[in-house]
Amino acid sequence: MAEVRDRVLVLRHRPYREHDALLVGFGRTQGKFSAVARGVRSSRSHLAAGVQALTLTDMTVYRGRSSLYTIAAADAVRHYPRIRENLERTARAAMLADMLDELWSEHDAAPDAFSLVVEAFSALDEGRPAPAVFLAAFWQIMRQAGFALDLSRCSACGAALEEHPQPGFRAASGPVCGRCRIPGDEELPSASRAWLRRAETLSPDRLGTVLGSRALMEALERQAKHYILYHLGRMPRAFRFWEQVSGPLADAGPEEGDR
Ligand SMILES: [Zn+2]
């Protein structure tokens, strides 16, 4: 059996058999994998702290013939206590974890996506505005997964988006020009386009520093949900959970302007 050590973000954790847990991790060098933590639910386990969901861990796994790895060691690097103490920050972190889980196949290495989500978790743990952290990370992850939002062209006819006034956002495809826009498409005002352009080029350690009005953040959130629903064919679990509990955005940051 091969032994592999990697820095891992634990995406999901669930009880398995009497004393074990099954988890889905995303390693910096090995991408997504499933693993069993044997004996982790017994009181003497030394693995417990390092295999909780939404924890950054230095993990050693054994790879055998099965695609299910066995965890040999897990030393927690960061627990993100401020994420855990707040429902919205927990939900946002879980939504980003779901994106890594749903948008990449097992053993498909994506070190940039890994680093981006680790930076987003740090920003959430520092208490930066959760919707702004989430939305900027969302569009950057979609780009890395091959679903980049093209703000330059109409997704229906290919014309330059600015060529016709009042472009819109179509749930199924993205931005559409004013000529192609039909009832049911959302507005895509210049403030939204400017926000998305800035978020898309933001360096990962600056996530959460591009803010906007409550109405703008709500519109961006609707567009993000429509976009991932269209590309995945379903809404990830943490997205559904947050939609049920949040109602209007709880913490959209200051009403106006950027920091
Ligand atoms: Zn068009």
Could you tell me if 132 and 196 lie in one domain? Answer: yes
Rg, the chain, Cα only: 20
Quote the ligand 1 centre to 26 CA distance (angstroms).
39
In a domain, 49, yes or no: yes
Backbone angles phi, psi at 57, to 5 degrees: -140, 145
Q: How far is the CA of 7 from the centre of ligand 1 (A)?
A: 44
- Tell me the pLDDT tens digit for each residue of 205-249: 999 999 999 999 999 999 999 999 989 999 999 999 999 998 654
Gap from CA of 179 to ligand 1 centroid (Å) = 6
Q: Give distance in angstroms: CA of 230 to centre of ligand 1.
A: 19
Measured CA to CA, the distance from residue 82 to residue 89 in angstroms comes to: 8
Q: Is 144 helix (H, G, I), strand (E, B) or coil?
A: helix
pLDDT band at 115 (very low <50, low <70, confident <90, very high): very high
List residues, by chain if needed, whose CB lies under 5 Å from ion ligand 1. 154, 156-157, 159, 177, 180
Residue 24 and residue 125 share a domain: no
pLDDT of residue 179: 95
**Does 252 fall in a domain?**
no
* Residue pLDDT, tens place only, 146-201: 999 999 999 999 999 988 889 999 988 889 999 999 999 998 989 999 999 999 88
Q: Tell me: do 160 and 193 sit in the same domain.
A: yes
pLDDT of residue 250: 46
Contacts with 85 (C-beta within 8 Å, 6 or more apart), sequence order: none
Question: What pLDDT, on a 0 to 100 scale, did the predictor assign at position 209?
Answer: 93
Element (H, E) at 217: helix 214-232
Retrieve residue 182's tokens. 């039909």
Q: What percent of the chain has pLDDT over 90?
A: 78
* Each residue's pLDDT tens digit, 42-93: 877 888 889 999 999 999 999 888 889 999 999 999 999 999 999 999 999 9
- Residue 216: CB partners within 8 Å, gap ≥ 6? 191, 192, 195
Of the three residues 26, 58, 78, the one that is the final residue of a domain is 78
**Burial state string for 14-47 with b = 16 or more CB within 10 A and e = fewer than 16:** eeeeeebbbbbbbbbebbbbebbbbbbbeeebeb
The reply to whether 95 and 73 lie within a common domain is no
Q: Answer yes or no: do 114 and 209 share one domain.
A: yes
Q: Residue 258 domain-assigned?
A: no
Tokens of 220: 């961006």
Same domain, yes or no, for 103 and 227? yes
Task: Please say if the pLDDT value at position 128 is more than 90.
Answer: yes
66 and 194 in one domain? no
Parent domain of 53:
2-78
What mean pLDDT do residues 9-38 have? 95
Nearest alpha carbon to residue 211 among 191, 235, 227, 229 = 191
The mean pLDDT value for 24-53 works out to 91
**pTM recorded for the entire structure:** 0.91
pLDDT at 165: 87
Number of domains in the chain: 2
